[in-house]
Amino acid sequence: MNELLEKLLEAVESGKADQKSPFPPQLKGQDGALELTISALEAGVSPQEILESALIPAMDKVGKKFTENKIFVPQMLMSARAMGAAMTQLKPFFTSGEIKTKGTFIIGTVKGDLHDIGKNLVAMMVEGSGWSVIDLGVDVSAEKYIQAIRENPGAVVAMSALLTTTMANMGNMINEIKAASPETKIFIGGAPVNNSFCQKIGADFYSPDPQGIVEYLNKQAS
Amino acid sequence: MTSRERVLAAIRHEQPDRVPVDMGATPSSGISAIAYSNLVKHLGLNLPTRIYDVVQQLAQPDMEIIDRFGIDVLDIGRMFNDKEEDWYPVTMANGDTAYYPVWFKPVLQPDGSYATFDTDGTTKLAHMPTGATFFDQTYFPYLDGYPENYDHLDEEMGRILWARYAHSPWDHASEADFWPKLREKALWLRENTDKALLVVCGCNLFEWGTFLRRMDNFLMDLMCEPENVERLLDELLKRHLATLEKVCHYLGDVVDIIRFGDDLGMTNGPFMDAETYDALFKPRHKILCDYVKEHSSMHTFIHSCGSISMLIPGLLEAGIEILNPVQTNCAHMEPDYLKNEFGDKATFWGGGIETVGTLNIGTPEQIRSQIFERMDIFNKGGGFVFNTVHNILPDVPPQNIVAMFDAIKEYNAKQ
């Protein structure tokens, strides 16, 4: 593999966003994901290859290490930040259609819930696996989801809740979304949610961690 | 045994005569105002629902409830706001009437949510969405980075909802005679009840970082700005030690337990690895614990949500004796694992029943069975105070709370 892509993969996996970033200490002063992406593009590597050969495998490794408790949220956030730095350079190619994504993923926290760290992590991991992500933010109503689905036909939907009180809103929201768009697949996640709750309220998939969602999505896309 | 003897025996890892029980002595072993109001109605009682912790919307259980259910420990904060004129009525999300302390005046927003504002009238400090049952923080003073100096740290901390709307006794902390009055009230409880006494004194370190910088930023700071993190933690430590000096001086010989807080865990694992905890937080938790031990007879208690078993060795080395809420529904927090691994040193204050999954939706038989199982594991050789896994939330039906206390009574009768 191209040496630049190898370095980029390492930068994202270890959470090195740019040259100035002091983390991780062993890469101090070296180029980060931002500079390496610019260099790769300048060297003629295609944006699609940067995504597929460096960013996606890096975030895949990060997701797996997180699931195995080998790294924790701080390291995962650093990797997501590094991926975000690389993405700033790739965004124009997403817009122009030069990069083909695997699909569109619409995510938010349920009505009444303002807690978004888990949701943000899932959004970043899914984006890092090659999906186009539309983040509707926090306290999102069923109507807002439905409108986003209309604007992005075929999109997959995800909603999270941190509280037992707000997870109760998921059932009604899923009914409303499924009534408007029966084919739409809906994921749920968050601390109080589990698989039996997922089945009870008619959601399509639950995962206790971001990696589970990424793997499920990739199976759908393949 | 008296209630106090029972709790202290458990903490000393001696077998108490029965399992000691808490409900309401801390803001993480309490009961939500809606669940409490439902319980009071179910019992046919006429007691006000006083929301003493306005952020989490928790009720202060009346002494009638405490005595009825054989609860063994009291928060000394309950001695403040003890007059009717200290409270005013509000309507909760379920339509019931409850009471707020007179100093708490959230503003109803056009969309039905509630917000609170700083003295400038525009900076939003906290927000409770429509139908939600507690307030969220909306103001993060160091969102854009760390300040050059900490000359204004006290003011900024005062804008964080947890400090601004602190529950009693701290809502009276600015009064001139607060400390002697606090001692007097604690002494009254000591002389007039047989309960163990607890003082909630946050001394949060990790959490203050997340309140000031916002969770996601502070988590990344642990990795990429450890020097700034340590500088902030030292400033916080200075302030916490100043508070502890007063707490130990005025309460150290009266109160049995001092409760710190620092949420270090999430569902799947701790927020950080043990190495990071041990480097940044353990030395400072140790300074807090050492101070308490040198200057009082109080036992040290920490509240930390989530899966923290990887950090428990560090917490115990720092001098923490009691762990709460023992979130057994998280990864690596199985009751028998915790008891086998840490039971000789730690006292588990919680883990008695799952609030989510059992207490809220279980049958009385499922509740009984889980409580018996947990008691068998945790109460062996002491080191256990019964409490639900964190606060009893609004969705817990009153019948299930009664079933929980019935099961505890039945278990104790068999001992």
- CA B408, B413, B414 angle in degrees (round to 5)? 100
Residues of A with CB under 8 A from a CB of B: 15, 21-24, 67, 69, 71-75, 77-78, 81, 111-115, 117, 120, 139, 163-166, 168, 191-192, 194, 208-209
What pLDDT, on a 0 to 100 scale, did the predictor assign at position A1? 65
Cβ distance B224 to A21 less than 8 Å, yes or no, reads yes
CA A44 to chain B, closest CA, distance in angstroms equals 32
Cβ neighbours of A83 in B, within 8 Å: none
- Residue entry with tokens 């050789």: B381
Q: What is the residue range of B241's domain?
A: 3-31+68-77+139-414
Cβ neighbours of A115 in B, within 8 Å: 136
- Residue entry with tokens 């009238």: B121
Alpha-carbon distances, residue B100 vs B33, B84, B91 (angstroms): 11, 11, 10
- Residue entry with tokens 């966003």: A17
Residues of B with CB under 8 A from a CB of A: 127, 129-133, 136, 215-216, 219-220, 222-225, 266-273, 276, 310, 331, 355-357, 360, 393-395
pLDDT at B391 over 70: yes
Q: Output the six-digit token pair for B208.
A: 């203050």
Cβ distance B360 to A24 less than 8 Å, yes or no, reads no
Percentage, residues of chain B above pLDDT 90: 95
Q: Exposed (0-12), middle (13-18) or buried (19+): which is B257, by Cβ within 10 Å? A: buried
Cβ neighbours of A117 in B, within 8 Å: 215-216
pLDDT at A115 over 90: no
Record the pTM: 0.92
Structurally, chain B folds into a number of domains equal to 1
Per residue, the 3-state secondary structure of A29-84, as one string, reads CCCCHHHHHHHHHHCCCCHHHHHHHHHHHHHHHHHHHHHCCCCCHHHHHHHHHHHH
* Residue to substitute from B211, B224, B310, B354, interface A, most A β-carbons within 10 A: B224
CA A123 to chain B, closest CA, distance in angstroms equals 14
CA dihedral B195, B196, B200, B206 (to 10 degrees): -140
Cβ distance B216 to A75 less than 8 Å, yes or no, reads no
d(CA B52, CA B30): 11
Segments of chain A assigned to CATH 1.10.1240.10: 1-100
Nearest to residue B324, comparing CAs of B277, B384, B255, B256? B384
Cβ neighbours of B331 in A, within 8 Å: 69
Residue B118 lies in a domain: no
Residue B120 lies in a domain: no
Rounded mean pLDDT, A176-197 = 93
Whole-angstrom distance between the N-terminal and C-terminal Cα of chain B?
A: 14
Cβ distance B223 to A120 less than 8 Å, yes or no, reads no
Rounded mean pLDDT, B212-219 = 95
Beta bridge partners of B108: B114
Cβ neighbours of A209 in B, within 8 Å: 268
CA A165 to chain B, closest CA, distance in angstroms equals 7
Residue A195 φ/ψ, nearest 5 degrees? -65, -40
How many CB atoms within 10 Å of residue B117? Answer: 16
Task: Return the CATH number of the domain spanning residue range A101-222.
Answer: 3.40.50.280
pLDDT at B152 over 70: yes
Question: In CATH, what number is assigned to the domain containing residue B226?
Answer: 3.20.20.210
Rounded mean pLDDT, B98-108 = 96
What pLDDT, on a 0 to 100 scale, did the predictor assign at position A27? 92
pLDDT at B406 over 70: yes
CB pairs under 8 A between A and B: 74
Cβ distance B133 to A24 less than 8 Å, yes or no, reads no
Q: Which residue of A has its CA nearest to B357?
A: A192
Cβ neighbours of A69 in B, within 8 Å: 268-269, 310, 331
Rounded mean pLDDT, B343-370 = 96
Cβ distance A77 to B220 less than 8 Å, yes or no, reads yes
Q: Which residue of A has its CA nearest to B392?
A: A164
Rounded mean pLDDT, B378-402 = 97
Answer with the residue of higher pLDDT: A115 or B319: B319
Confidence at B349, pLDDT banded by 50, 70, 90 = very high
Query: In whole numbers, what is the pLDDT of chain A averaged over residues?
Result: 93
ipTM of the complex: 0.85
Rounded mean pLDDT, B7-32 = 98
d(CA B41, CA B92): 15
CA B273 to chain A, closest CA, distance in angstroms equals 7
Cβ neighbours of B213 in A, within 8 Å: none
Cβ neighbours of B224 in A, within 8 Å: 21-23, 78
Nearest to residue B257, comparing CAs of B323, B168, B304? B323
pLDDT at A207 over 90: yes
pLDDT at B146 over 90: yes
Residue B361 carries which side chain, given as an amino acid letter?
Answer: I
Q: Which residue of B has its CA nearest to A20?
A: B224
pLDDT at B374 over 70: yes
Confidence at A54, pLDDT banded by 50, 70, 90 = very high
Chain centre distance of CA B331: 21
**Architecture, CATH, for domain A1-100:** Orthogonal Bundle (1.10)
Query: In whole numbers, what is the pLDDT of chain B averaged over residues?
Result: 96
**C-beta of residue A17 within 8 angstroms of C-beta of residue A85:** yes
The pLDDT tens digits of the residues spanning B270-309 come to 999 999 999 999 999 999 999 999 999 999 999 999 999 9
The pLDDT tens digits of the residues spanning B220-234 come to 999 999 999 999 999
Rounded mean pLDDT, A48-71 = 93
CA B295 to chain A, closest CA, distance in angstroms equals 36
Across A20-24, A71-75, A143-147, A164-168, least confident range = A164-168
Residue B283 lies in a domain: yes
**C-beta of residue A203 within 8 angstroms of C-beta of residue A174:** yes
pLDDT at B317 over 70: yes
Residue B260 φ/ψ, nearest 5 degrees? -90, 165
The pLDDT tens digits of the residues spanning B222-265 come to 999 999 999 999 999 999 999 999 999 999 999 999 999 999 99
Residue B100 lies in a domain: no
pLDDT at A112 over 90: no
Rounded mean pLDDT, B193-214 = 98
pLDDT at A200 over 90: yes
